[in-house]
Chain A
Amino acid sequence: MELEPVIGLEVHAQLLTSSKIFCACSTAFGASPNHHTCPICLGMPGVLPVLNRRVVEYALRMAIATNCVINRKNYFARKNYFYPDLPKGYQISQYASPLAEHGYVEIETEGGKKKIGITRIHMEEDAGKLIHDETNPMSYVDFNRTGVPLIEIVSEPDIRSAEEAVQYLRTLRDILVYLEICDGNMEEGSFRCDANISLRPRGQKEFGTRTELKNMNSFRHVQRALEYEIKRQMFIIESGGEVVQETRLWDESQGVTYAMRGKEEAHDYRYFPDPDLVAVFIDENWIAQVRSTLPELPGAKKQRFMEEYGLSTYDAGVLTSDRFLAEYFEKCAQKCQQPKSAANWIMGDLLKLVNEDKRTIKECPVTPEHLAEIINLISEGTISGKIGKEILEEAYSTGEAPRAIVEKKGLVQITDERFIAEVIERVIAHHPEQVAQYRAGKEKVFGFFVGQVMKETQGKANPKLVNDLLREKLKN
């Protein structure tokens, strides 16, 4: 009996609004505890929520980008439960009428493209955070995060492997970041994921008993936790046991999931419409207006890059993984008219510099126009590729224009055949041993001569000319 995993993911994405969903407090991360609070988000007696309409707009962006059907009449509901980080004793969420339903996203799998269904997207408020004193039996509550807007994105159980799960998550995150509605930071918790997973014999329609996995703080955690859980459930089923429906936590250091204790009693959240909030009506105009502000999404952009610039699937994928990287590429490619070179330079030397510096492409001191200039300097033969790399490094540290660097440093490529020939003759004269080896058929030594010539010319000699002339001279 072959067992097939059935996985559905619940993603919580913090929206990048500047103020909270129901009050004017800041959503900034990292402030001292309870700095960004007011009577409203602290749930003091008598206070009332007023919806931040920007939250609806951001959530709408995601709903449109994931092909959802948007509910015209939206209600908020109260989800009632007690916990110290939940100051009102209920979370304002959506229940019976989520913002959006019946959507999908396309992911890349080994077997090609695959649609993963989106069951629903709804808006809700985040809870606070507990801070436990390690030395005392004392806990503290930080309400800064309380009331930060979230969207919850629930997938259909369409995912069949840990790899697909991660691919789906990456796709969602890329879209959210492209839409500029979430920073997608899993470590800081602005992009969070819980997974529901069960196994069933391949071909069977009914689902097996599922477990819910929590506490996965990176894509890697998600992948490892799901892989572990698939093995664990497989072992139970194959040895004749039964999977227990429960919530399990991923322990990254031990590489295992373990059942969460104490919270297993079934929760009854007693959802009901929040009487303090009125229905939010979303009309065609609003949807059309939001739709008109949507950027080109990663999937479409990737396709276009392949068609328009002749890039490989891989290159197009890398360059569209970040909206600003894609913008950088397009500007550079249009300026130099050499999209493949632009792609190579960006994905190679440029990103290496940026990454080593722990910066993002947005903060890169070399403008796309400057990189295009370097590419053009090489293609017109003014400099060699090797010098191009030097100029890029120089431009990265000084911000100067490449052409100016070339002139300042006298890096213009040497294309004077006579001059190069003289250097070659000198090199040959100095290395009779190597000449003998080459002439005896040791082709490898050719590289040595190229190196010597470049050294003599401080790398400025035109490599093609060096190659051609060397072969000629060495023959004699």
Chain B
Amino acid sequence: MELCEYTAHELSKKLRKKEVSAKEVLDSVFRRIEKVEGKVHAYISLMRETAYEQANEADLRLSKGESTELTGIPIALKDICCTKGFPTTCGSRILERFIPPYDATVIEKLRAAGAIFVGKANMDEFAMGSSTETSYFGITANPWNLERIPGGSSGGSAAAVAAHECIGAIGSDTGGSIRQPAALCGVVGLKPTYGRVSRFGLIAFASSLDQIGPITKDVEDCAIFMNHLAGYDPRESTSVPEPVPDYRDFLNREIKGWTVGVPKEYFIEGIDPEVEEIVRRAISTLEGVGARIEEISLPHTPFCVATYYIIAPAEASSNLARYDGVKYGYRSPDGRDLLEMYRKTRAQGFGDEVKRRIIIGTYVLSAGYYEAYYKKASQVRALIRRDFDLAFEKCDVILTPTTPTAAFKLGEKREDPIQMYLSDIFTISANLAGIPGIAVPGGFTKEGLPVGIQFLGNHFQEGKLLQIAHAFEREARIEKRRPDL
């Protein structure tokens, strides 16, 4: 087995025991990238030079015994996280040449932990999409089937982890953008509670929904990443000064006696029977280890997608106004006056999906429509949040499918935004409610495509999610497969 195929916790042990060096691990990752990146295209840009510098520093730290569990671990960064001195595109032409003069808070934290940055992972433009097909820098393929999408918008991050082009990755999740690609690529993805991980330096899509989280090979790695990502950030007003536990403490613990809620609204028409079967099997597995399964109701579930597609575009239309060609990024050379410069810069700089959402968002905030759309959606959002508050009075966690189907074919839904939007139907609610959610591999379809199980927890209950996800991972004993690349 190549070093790049190990998990972070396995490699960390090897690194600390000096069985391998950070440089050797990185070599393995770059060899893998050379071999498979042509097929997968998980990255927008590689950070080879600085990665080797970081590997040297990591080896030095390891030799001094000053390491963390992420020291020397090569990771991929979704290209939505600002990296000081290195291009950060957000998958868009409009930021093609943008080099941030600052690091995102999570990047600072990962640097401090000694993680090695392999490259900037591909993503849907401005994280708007569920298939990584809207990136200006080309599409990413699903490592399990190159004809299929990897999910999105953190498709590059999930594909890089699944294809072993990195050991773990950072993604961001506004409506499912970590959990959905993690599920479709057969890896673990966690969207933390809103306010748990700093958004500073995360290029904003929808500020009240965005959250950074890890995409990893297993649940234990996920806990390790969370130990380094979570925490209060005084640079973010919506950051919450909630103490951060050691998430590893939640691993290897029983879930006997837990109540697992299964919302009936999540087993809708249109859910693929194979997906449903895998979810039912997961339910039995948990019952087998002493969890009590209870059918619950989240009555406002049918309004989630509509609510999301008002609030997210509304915020996006404002967040993306700064890309005007004046200060940084792309500026159309064709503008003869200010207005024309604005129009052409944005017409040429943004792709269709981004424009569609800017237009929707502008519309729902307009005078005369604000009350009927944005305000109404905000009210419904409060009801969705209350659904969860009530549910968590009875349940420890909630179990749902992550996606209605396994990975669909490249191009299949590209021209049908509504179908595309519905692929996030099970993940959106967690962002609207601000609660954490984790996607863990649940099994494979007959075609060999991964299917994910989603657990949702109450605010700041990431530990519980990791606990049940880890228990499920142990008990389900899903056969180890590797994508054939």
| Chain A residues close to B by CB (< 8 Å) | 39, 42-51, 78, 80, 82, 84, 87-90, 141, 268, 270-272, 275-278
Is the pair A46, B104 in contact by a Cβ cutoff of 8 Å?
A: yes
Binds A, one of B175-183, B323-331, B394-402, B418-426: B323-331
Chain B min CB distance to A15 (Å): 19
Is B314 part of the contact surface with A, judged by Cβ < 8 Å?
Answer: yes
- Beta-carbon contacts of B347-380 to A below 8 Å, as 1s and 0s? 0000000000000001001110010001000000
Chain B min CB distance to A263 (Å): 11
- What are 9 inter-chain pairs, A to B, with CB distance below 8 A? A45-B95, A45-B203, A50-B235, A84-B338, A88-B322, A268-B366, A270-B367, A272-B370, A277-B238
Is the pair A88, B321 in contact by a Cβ cutoff of 8 Å?
A: yes
Identity of the chain B residue whose Cβ is nearest the Cβ of A274 in the assembled complex: B207
Binds A, one of B31-39, B194-202, B405-413: B194-202
Contacts of A270 in B (CB 8 A): 317-318, 362, 365-367, 370
Range, interface on chain B: 35 or more
> B322: which of A51, A87, A278 is its contact (CB, 8 Å)?
A87
Contacts of A43 in B (CB 8 A): 322, 327
> A141: which of B80, B102, B318, B326 is its contact (CB, 8 Å)?
B326
Is the pair B326, A278 in contact by a Cβ cutoff of 8 Å?
A: no
> A89: which of B81, B199, B322 is its contact (CB, 8 Å)?
B322
Is the pair A46, B366 in contact by a Cβ cutoff of 8 Å?
A: no
Contacts of A276 in B (CB 8 A): 204, 207, 236-238
Is the pair B314, A272 in contact by a Cβ cutoff of 8 Å?
A: yes
Is the pair A48, B90 in contact by a Cβ cutoff of 8 Å?
A: no
Is B483 part of the contact surface with A, judged by Cβ < 8 Å?
Answer: no
Is B332 part of the contact surface with A, judged by Cβ < 8 Å?
Answer: no
Is the pair A272, B365 in contact by a Cβ cutoff of 8 Å?
A: yes
Alpha-carbon gap, A47 to B101, bound state (A): 11
Closest 4 CB pairs of A and B: A89-B321, A275-B208, A270-B365, A275-B207
Is the pair B201, A46 in contact by a Cβ cutoff of 8 Å?
A: yes
Contacts of B200 in A (CB 8 A): 46-48
> B342: which of A49, A80, A82, A90 is its contact (CB, 8 Å)?
A82
| Chain B residues close to A by CB (< 8 Å) | 80-82, 88, 90, 95, 98, 100-102, 104, 199-204, 206-208, 234-238, 314-315, 317-318, 320-322, 324, 326-328, 338, 342, 362, 365-367, 370, 374
Chain B min CB distance to A83 (Å): 9
Is the pair B98, A45 in contact by a Cβ cutoff of 8 Å?
A: yes
Chain B min CB distance to A112 (Å): 42
Alpha-carbon gap, A189 to B314, bound state (A): 34
Alpha-carbon gap, A268 to B206, bound state (A): 21
Is the pair B237, A90 in contact by a Cβ cutoff of 8 Å?
A: no
Alpha-carbon gap, A87 to B327, bound state (A): 8
Residue from B81, B95, B236, B314 having most chain A Cβ neighbours under 10 A: B236
Contacts of A51 in B (CB 8 A): 237
Chain A min CB distance to B91 (Å): 12
Alpha-carbon gap, A45 to B79, bound state (A): 12
Is the pair B100, A46 in contact by a Cβ cutoff of 8 Å?
A: yes
Alpha-carbon gap, A305 to B203, bound state (A): 58
Q: Apart from A42-B327, A46-B201, A84-B324, what are 16 other A-B pairs with CB-CB below 8 Å? A: A44-B100, A45-B90, A45-B98, A45-B100, A46-B81, A46-B100, A48-B235, A50-B234, A87-B327, A88-B322, A89-B324, A141-B326, A268-B366, A270-B318, A270-B365, A276-B204
Is the pair B82, A45 in contact by a Cβ cutoff of 8 Å?
A: yes
Identity of the chain A residue whose Cβ is nearest the Cβ of B325 in the assembled complex: A84
Is the pair A278, B318 in contact by a Cβ cutoff of 8 Å?
A: no
> A275: which of B82, B101, B315, B320 is its contact (CB, 8 Å)?
B315
Contacts of B314 in A (CB 8 A): 272
Is the pair A84, B321 in contact by a Cβ cutoff of 8 Å?
A: no
Contacts of B362 in A (CB 8 A): 270
Alpha-carbon gap, A50 to B314, bound state (A): 22
Identity of the chain B residue whose Cβ is nearest the Cβ of A270 in the assembled complex: B365
Chain B min CB distance to A43 (Å): 5
Chain A min CB distance to B322 (Å): 5
> A277: which of B95, B100, B237, B342 is its contact (CB, 8 Å)?
B237
Is the pair B237, A45 in contact by a Cβ cutoff of 8 Å?
A: no
Is the pair B237, A44 in contact by a Cβ cutoff of 8 Å?
A: no
Alpha-carbon gap, A179 to B366, bound state (A): 39
Is the pair B202, A46 in contact by a Cβ cutoff of 8 Å?
A: yes
Identity of the chain B residue whose Cβ is nearest the Cβ of A80 in the assembled complex: B318
Is the pair A49, B237 in contact by a Cβ cutoff of 8 Å?
A: yes
Contacts of A141 in B (CB 8 A): 326-327
Identity of the chain B residue whose Cβ is nearest the Cβ of A76 in the assembled complex: B237
